[in-house]
Amino acid sequence: MSLKMSFREKSSFLVKILHAWDCITVVLLLFLMVWAYAVPWSTYYSYLVTASFALCFATFYSFQLYRPWRSNGIYREFLVILKAWGVVVGAILSAFFVFKVSDYYSRVSVLAWFVATPLVVFATHLSTRYFLRSLRSKGEDLKNAVIVGAGDLGREVVQCIEKTPWLGIHILGFFDDREQGPIMHGIPVLGKIDELPVYLKKNQVDFVYLALPMRAEGKIMFILDHCRTLGAEIYLVPDLYLFRFLNAEIQTLGDILLVNFNPSSRAKRIFDVVFSLLVLLTTLPITLFIALIIKVEDRGPIFYGHARIMNAGKTFRCLKFRTMHVNADKKLAEILNSDPEAKAEWQKSFKLKNDPRITRIGKFLRKTSLDELPQFINVLKGEMSVVGARPIVYTELSDYYRECSGLYCSMKPGITGPWQVGKRSDTEDYEERVRLDTWYVLNYSLWLDVKIIAKTVSCMISGKGAY
């Protein structure tokens, strides 16, 4: 018997082993905590062992902790573990209160047990998950799938599965009613949609993905009526999925499905606040020194605020250390009227490489990007992110972003971003800036933010492309 077949036939047995091992782990951790804190063992701890094992056995299973997790994020599994363990802890504490036996237990050892258990159980599940992933990446423990619908949505499903081989999903082919060639998107076309039930009866198929437009409800209902009893799990991939190209996410309002075109990441916001507070606190001496020099140089204001666009098209006052002489806007008009080359350069990039309006300290601040330190205050106020698209004015939005303007306004602008770790002000083509901003909005991740911040520090040290 092949390894692949043994996994398919013994998967339920492996689940039972993991279930039993989780319950045993809970008990072993209780023994360990009692031993670690030198607490004498008593009959009451034996009662707790028996009760906790029984509670975990029932609760972990009822919370579907052993469902297939191959297509779900790690954090979701951890949340389910926390919820299930929370129910167990609640039941134990309730028993302590009802039977008035809490004095018979060491509070420190029991509290340590409460805290350590979900972490250890999660570590066990994580190890199991990565072990199975390694097998699936090598072609073992695969699940067979078919896709109904060979259009753009079907292609997206194929690409998603191919990008994540550790899911262990093998695509057998498409079913589609349109005139198709024998191969679509590198996958064979197995037949028409009404031929799907016969195919499922004759072949081992684990998943059926319905990649059909919502207007094809007749075909969807046909599949649900004729295929739900044929051994395959059926999933509908709503065509709302295509809205991801517009930086949208699917949410719910009660029982109503919504597409949110202004998504906000709680993790990104937490990261922004924590990172900004750390930067402002650690750079406070530098900030005070810069403020003093700016004031001493020409007695003008320390900060400069300019109206920029944030998410949803709202405006905010983007803060910077003042790097130009007072009345710089008036001087700019004079320069552009008298110097055609400067005017052409300004219209191309909204910057002047040799700008006579910049002060002596301003040149240094711009070279090192220290002039942007006050923008961390904007981040704390919720007007900006640490990493994001460039803060721009309405003129840039209407003249250059055009069809990308809605996408731009779906996220907060950032202090830094792909434009700053690339060519920065040396970017000659403004359209390239637009492409970089659009790319970031569509490809955002917390890890990408971390990498951009690391590259930004390097750029600040080198001063490349800043003026």
User: How far is Cα 372 from Cα 385, in angstroms, rounded to an integer?
Assistant: 13
Name the domain count of the chain. Answer: 3
Co-location of 440 and 293 in the same domain: yes
Residues 289 and 434 grouped into a single domain: yes
Q: Can you list the positions of beta strands (E) in 329-392?
A: 385-387
Q: Provide the residue-wise pLDDT of the chain in tens; the chain has 467 residues.
A: 334 444 444 456 677 888 899 999 999 999 999 999 999 999 999 999 999 999 999 899 888 787 766 556 677 888 889 999 999 999 999 999 888 998 999 999 999 999 999 999 999 988 887 777 776 666 666 789 999 999 888 888 888 888 776 677 889 999 999 877 788 888 999 999 999 999 999 998 989 999 988 788 899 999 988 998 888 889 888 776 666 556 666 666 666 767 776 666 777 888 899 999 999 999 999 999 999 999 998 888 999 998 999 887 888 999 999 998 888 777 877 787 888 877 787 777 667 777 888 888 988 998 888 999 999 999 999 999 999 998 988 888 888 887 778 778 888 999 999 887 765 555 556 778 888 888 888 888 888 888 899 888 887 776 655 54
| Statement to judge: residues 370 and 436 lie in one domain | yes
Beta strand spans in 153-219 (E): 169-175, 183-184, 187-191, 207-210
Examine residue 340 and state whether it is found in any structural domain, yes or no.
no
What are the b/e assignments for 269-301, b being 16+ CB within 10 Å?
Answer: eebbeebbeebbeeeeeebeebeeebeeeeeee
CATH code of the domain covering residue 175:
3.40.50.720
> Could you tell me if 156 and 71 lie in one domain?
no
Asked if 386 and 441 sit in the same domain, the reply is: yes
Would you say 140 and 149 are in contact if contact means Cβ atoms under 8 Å apart? no
The confidence score (pLDDT) of residue 344 equals 80
179 and 110 housed in the same domain: no
Query: Does the residue 376 lie in any domain?
Result: yes
- For tokens 């209407």, the residue is 398
Domain boundary among 237, 255, 274: 237
Of 79, 109, 137, which residue constitutes the final position of a domain? 137
- For residue 161, tell me if it sits in a domain: yes
Widest CA span in the chain = 94
Q: Determine, yes or no, domain membership for 284.
A: yes
Among 411, 421, 401, 422, CA closest to 445:
411
Asked if residue 307 belongs to a domain, the reply is yes
Which residues span the domain enclosing 453?
266-323+358-462
Same domain, yes or no: 297 and 367? yes
Dihedral in degrees, nearest 10, Cα atoms 376, 381, 382, 387? 0
Residue 166's nearest CA partner among 206, 204, 198, 139 is 139
Hey, is 321 helix, strand or coil? Answer: strand
Q: Give a yes or no: residue 223 inside a domain.
A: yes
Closest CA to 26 of 69, 68, 89: 89
- 79 and 195 assigned to the same domain: no
- Cα torsion through 155, 156, 157, 159, rounded to 10: 90
Q: How many residues does the chain have?
A: 467
Beta-carbon neighbour count of residue 139 at 10 Å?
A: 12
Domain presence at residue 230: yes
Does residue 349 lie in a domain region? no
* Domain match, 167 and 131 both: no
**Whether residues 233 and 314 fall in one domain:** no
Same structural domain, 150 and 128:
no
Q: Give the single-character DSSP code of 209.
A: E
Domain end position, chosen among 103, 137, 171: 137
Sheet containing 143-148: which strands, arranged edge to edge? 183-184, 187-191, 169-175, 143-148, 207-210, 233-236
CA torsion 219-225-229-230 (nearest 10°) is: -30
Q: What is the CA radius of gyration of the chain?
A: 30
Same domain, 192 and 306: no
